[in-house]
Amino acid sequence: MAPCLALVGGIPRMLLPRLARASSSSSSSSGDEKSDNSGGECPLGFGKNGRITNAVNGVKNAAYLAFMSSSTPLTMEEARASAAAADPNDITILENKVFLNSLKEAISDPVGMPAAMLDWHKYYDRDTVGIVNPLGPGCVSTIDPRTVEYVCKTNAANYRDRLLPDVFRVVLKDLGVTGSQGEYNRQHRKVCQKPFINANFLKTFSSVVESGVGHLCDSWDMAAAMPGNEKGFTQDVDLHSQHLLLDIISPISFDYSFDLLGKSRNVITGVGTFKPNKMLEAYHRSAEIMGEVILVPLPLLKLGERFGIGRLRELIEAYDSLEVMGEEIIKRRRDAHKSAEAEGKVFEQNCLLDTMLFMEDEDGNLAYTDEELWGDVNDIMAAGH
Q: Write out pLDDT tens, residues 307-323.
A: 777 788 888 888 889 88
Query: Is 228 in the same domain as 157?
Result: no
Report if residue 177 sits inside a domain. no
Query: Is 114 in the same domain as 206?
Result: no
pLDDT at 22: 36
Q: With bands split at pLDDT 50, 70 and 90, how would you rate the model's confidence at 219?
A: very high
Query: Is 138 in the same domain as 230?
Result: no
Query: Is 256 in the same domain as 143?
Result: no
Query: Is 352 in the same domain as 204?
Result: yes
Q: With bands split at pLDDT 50, 70 and 90, how would you rate the model's confidence at 230?
A: confident
- Mean pLDDT, rounded, of the chain: 74
Query: Is 249 in the same domain as 322?
Result: yes
Judged by average pLDDT, the poorest of 20-24, 28-32, 302-306, 342-346 is 20-24
Cα-based torsion angle of the residue sequence 260, 266, 272, 275 in order, rounded to the nearest 10 degrees = 10
Query: Is 243 in the same domain as 343?
Result: yes
pLDDT at 185: 83
Report if residue 168 sits inside a domain. no
pLDDT at 52: 42
> Considering 135, 163, 191, which residue would you say is the last residue of a domain?
163
Query: Is 367 in the same domain as 231?
Result: yes
Report if residue 93 sits inside a domain. yes
Report if residue 127 sits inside a domain. yes
pLDDT 10s digits, 136-180 = 556 778 888 888 888 777 887 777 666 677 788 788 888 888 888
**Secondary structure (H, E, C), 258-280:** CCHHHHHHHHHCCCCCCCCCHHH
Query: Is 142 in the same domain as 221?
Result: no
Residue 53: which domain range? 6-163
Report if residue 185 sits inside a domain. no
The CA distance from 346 to 351, in Å, is 15
The angle, 0 to 180 degrees and rounded to 10, between the axes of the packed helices 370-384 and 182-193 is 70
Q: Would the pLDDT of 35 be above 60?
A: no
Q: With bands split at pLDDT 50, 70 and 90, how would you rate the model's confidence at 86?
A: low
Tally of domains within the chain: 2
pLDDT 10s digits, 296-310 = 777 877 787 777 777
Question: What is the average pLDDT across 329-343?
Answer: 89
> Considering 140, 163, 186, which residue would you say is the last residue of a domain?
163
> Considering 163, 189, 218, which residue would you say is the last residue of a domain?
163
Q: With bands split at pLDDT 50, 70 and 90, how would you rate the model's confidence at 341?
A: confident
Instruction: Look up the pTM and report it.
Output: 0.60
Query: Is 220 in the same domain as 159?
Result: no
Report if residue 1 sits inside a domain. no
Report if residue 264 sits inside a domain. yes
Query: Is 379 in the same domain as 277?
Result: yes
Report if residue 237 sits inside a domain. yes
Instruction: Show the CA angle centred on residue 48, arms to residues 44 and 50, nearest 5°.
Output: 40
158 CB-near residues (< 8 Å, 6+ apart): 22, 23, 39, 40, 42, 47, 48
